[in-house]
Amino acid sequence: MPSLPQERVIQGPSPLDLNTELPYQSTMKRKVRKKKKKGTITANVAGTKFEIVRLVIDEMGFMKTPDEDETSNLIWCDSAVQQEKIAELQNYQRINHFPGMGEICRKDFLARNMTKMIKSRPLDYTFVPRTWIFPAEYTQFQNYMKELKKKRKQKTFIVKPANGAMGHGISLIRNGDKLPSQDHLIVQEYIEKPFLMEGYKFDLRVYILVTSCDPLKIFLYHDGLVRMGTEKYIPPNESNLTQLYMHLTNYSVNKHNERFERDETENKGSKRSIKWFTEFLQANQHDVAKFWSDISELVVKTLIVAEPHVLHAYRMCRPGQPPGSESVCFEVLGFDILLDRKLKPWLLEINRAPSFGTDQKIDYDVKRGVLLNALKLLNIRTSDKRRNLAKQKAEAQRRLYGQNSIKRLLPGSSDWEQQRHQLERRKEELKERLAQVRKQISKEEHENRHMGNYRRIYPPEDKALLEKYENLLAAAFQTFLSGRAASFQRELNNPLKKMKEEDILDLLEQCEIDDEKLMGKTAKPRGPKPLCSMPESTEIMRRQKYCSSDSSYDSSSSSSESDENEKEEYQNKKREKQVTYNLKQSNHYKLIQQSSSIRRSFSCPRSISSQSPSSADIRPFSAQQMISASRATSGSRSHSLNRASSYMRHLPHSNDASSTSSQMIIVAQ
C-alpha cells in the first residue's frame, strides 16, 4: 500500500496530479504523522487515493495511523472490501462500505433486481428505463425489436458493459441485429427527450449517505454536481449516434473534448452545482419542492430493493449481533440521475465508490461538504473503543459465572417453574427491545443536531409515506425470501419492532403483575410513574449527561468518561440483582403448548389475573380515567398508562384461545 508523502505546502494553481494535490488549499500544510495519543480518534486512509479524504480527516481532528494498522476507529477504502474484513472488525470501528451493496451498484445486478420489483410493484418503479441483460435476455430483446418493426416504430438504445465504469465501452444503436448474443451487456431504451440547459444534455450526481441497514437509515445531501455534455443536443438519428459528447454526460468522457469548459464559478462551465440548479429551477417557475421529493423517492425506492441483500450479507458478516446494534458499516453513494423534459427523474446508475477527485473548485466545495458532514453524522467518539472492550470483558465474565442469564429448564421442572421461565424470557426480550428503542432515540437526537446539509429521507416523518415505504420493503423481502432465509420473515412479523417505548413499558409491567401472581404476592396498585423509574432509564439519563461533551471532535474528556464507566458498572450490577428471581418455589398451574403450530408466539404469556375471578379488582384504574390523562413528555410520565388496554391491544383475548393454534395456554392443574 502507498505510504503518506512527506511534509510539504500545497500551492496552486499549477496543474498537478488530482489524486495527490489540491490547488485550492494554498495555505494548508500537510500534517506530519504524530504519535498516537490515548483518547484520540484514529483513521486508516491507506486505501484511498483522494487527497480530499485526508484533508477532511485532518479537519475533523482525527489522527492518521500507519497503513498496516487495522485497529483504527475509521477505515476508508476507495474500492469494495471483502466480507472477511468486515467480519473481523470490532464494534467500535467504522468502514465506508456495506457488504451486498453491489446488488444495485453493478449495472447487470441493478437491472436484474429492478426487473423483479417492477413485476411485483409496476406502478411504483417507473423511474428505470426498460432494460435487457445479455446474453440471458437476448431473445426477448430481439422479439421486442420485431414488434417495433411491425408497428413501424424505431427507437434508440444505449449499450453498456455489464460491469463497466467511467463511460468505457458505451455506444448507441437503432438496429439490434448486429449485437453479439454472448457478450455480457446491458441494453436500455434511450431517453430521447431530456431536460436541456442552454441546449446541452446533462445529468445529476446526487450524494447519498447510508449509516445503517438494521434499521435502514438514508440521508440525502442537498448539493451535488450537474454534469453537462459538451456538444449541443440533437435527438439521435443515424448520422449522430457516434457523437458521444452529445449523448453522454459522463465527466470522464467529456473532459477530453476541447469544448469542455472549466470555470471557477458555479453558474458557468461544463460542471455546475445542484444548489445552483435548484435556484435555476426556481427562477424559471419550476416546482423545486416536487423536484427534491421525486429525487428522494427514487433514492429510497432503489435502496429498498438493495436492503434485503445488504441486511442478509451484513448479518452473515456479523453473526451474533443483536438487531439494532451499532453498525460498523456506512456508505457514501453517488446516484446518477437524468431528468426528462417534464423534470421526471430517471435512474441511470449507482456508484458505490464515487470519485472524490477535485480538479475544479466546485468539486472541492461540494465533495468536502459531503465528507465532512458525513463524518459528523457518524458520531465516532473517543470512548467507543474503551466501552467496547469493557463490554466484551463483562459479557465474558457473565458467561463464565452464569450471571444475569436465564437458567435452563430441567426435564422434570414443575408447571410453576415453566411459567416463571416463560415470564423471565419475555421480560428479557422486552428489556432488550426497550434499550434498543432508547438508543435509537438518542442517536436520532444527535443526527438532528449534526445533520448539516444532509436530510433524512428514510425513515420519513410523514406516516403515510412511511407506511408506503414499509409496504415496498415487505414486497422486496418477499421477493428475496422466496425459498431462503425464513428467519428474516419471522423477524419482520415480530410485533416488538413496531412498538414504541410506552407500549413496551406496558408489557413489562404486565409481566411484573403476572410474576407477582405466580409468587403468591398481592398485586400492588400502580399509579403514575415517571419514565426514570423504568428499566434502564436511569442509565440512559446518566449517559446523556456524561456523553453530551464526548463528541467525535473532543478528545479531552477522559476523566469524565472514566467516571461514566464506573457509574455504568454500578447500574449493571444493580439491574442484575433486580432481574434475579427465585425459581425453586412451586405452584399448581400447568403450561400446555399446542403442537399443531410451528410458529412461535411473540406475544406476552397470558396474564394469570385474566383467568382469575377476582382479577378485575386488582386493577385500580378504569379506561375512562385514562382518557383524561395527558400524554407524557420526553422527560417523565405525567399520567398512569392504561396497562390493561395497552396489553390487550397487543395480545389476543383469553376467550379467543381456540382460534389461534400458536398461543401458550395456561390452565389450572
pLDDT in tens, 279-318: 999 999 999 999 999 999 999 999 999 999 999 999 999 8
Domains in the chain, please, with CATH? 101-382 (3.30.470.20)
- Residue 336 has φ and ψ, to the nearest 5°, of -100, 120
What 3-state class would DSSP assign to 276? helix
* 216 CB neighbour count, 10 Å cutoff: 19
* Cα–Cα distance for residue pair 20/23, rounded to 1 Å: 10
Query: E strands within 214-254?
Result: 216-228
Flag whether pLDDT at 266 surpasses 50.
yes
Mean pLDDT over 255-279 rounds to 85
CA quadruple 62, 67, 68, 70: dihedral, nearest 10: 30
Reported as a single tens digit per residue, the pLDDT across 214-227 is 889 999 999 999 99
At 52, which helix (H) or strand (E)?
Answer: helix 51-60
Q: Would you say residue 19 has pLDDT above 70?
A: no
Tens of pLDDT, residue by residue over 79-102, are 888 889 999 998 889 999 999 999
- Transcribe 608-636 into DSSP letters: GGGGSTTGGGT----HHHHHTSPPP-SS-
Ranking 213-227, 264-278, 316-330, 477-491 by mean pLDDT, the lowest is: 477-491
Rounded to the nearest 10°, the torsion over CA 608, 613, 614, 620 is 70
Q: Which stretches does DSSP call E strand in 501-637?
A: 589-593
Of 450-464, 541-555, 645-659, give the lowest mean pLDDT range: 645-659
> Mean pLDDT, the chain, as a whole number?
74
Judged by average pLDDT, the poorest of 3-7, 80-84, 189-193, 291-295 is 3-7
Grid cell digits, residue 257: 473534448
From residue 341, how far is each of 193, 195, 197, 345, 379 by CA, in Å?
6, 4, 10, 10, 41
- Does the pLDDT of residue 259 top 80, yes or no? yes
Judged by average pLDDT, the poorest of 16-20, 88-92, 204-208, 358-362 is 16-20
pLDDT greater than 70 at residue 335: yes
For residue 525, cis peptide bond before it (omega within 30 degrees of 0): no
DSSP codes of every residue in 70-120: ---SEEEESS---HHHHHH--TT-EES--TTTHHHHSHHHHHHHHHHHHHH
Question: In b/e form, how buried is each residue of 65-93, taking b as 16+ CB within 10 angstroms?
Answer: beeeeeebbbbbbbeebeeeebeebebbb
Determine the Cα–Cα distance for residues 156 and 170; give it in Å rounded to an integer: 13
Please answer whether residues 157 and 176 qualify as being in contact, where contact means their C-beta atoms are separated by less than 8 angstroms.
Answer: yes
Most confident of 55-69, 497-511, 590-604: 55-69
- Between 595 and 115, name the one with better pLDDT: 115
Instruction: Please tell me whether residue 231 adopts helix, strand or coil conformation.
Output: coil
pLDDT at 658: 41
Name the percent of the chain lying above pLDDT 90.
36
E-only strand ranges, 518-609:
589-593
pLDDT band for 37, please (50, 70, 90 cuts).
low
| Contact call for residues 373 and 451 (beta carbons, < 8 A) | yes
The residue that leads in pLDDT, 13 or 198, is 198
**217 versus 580: which is more confidently predicted?**
217
Residue of higher predicted confidence among 149 and 12: 149
**608-652 pLDDT, tens per residue?**
333 444 433 444 443 334 434 434 444 443 333 343 344 344 444
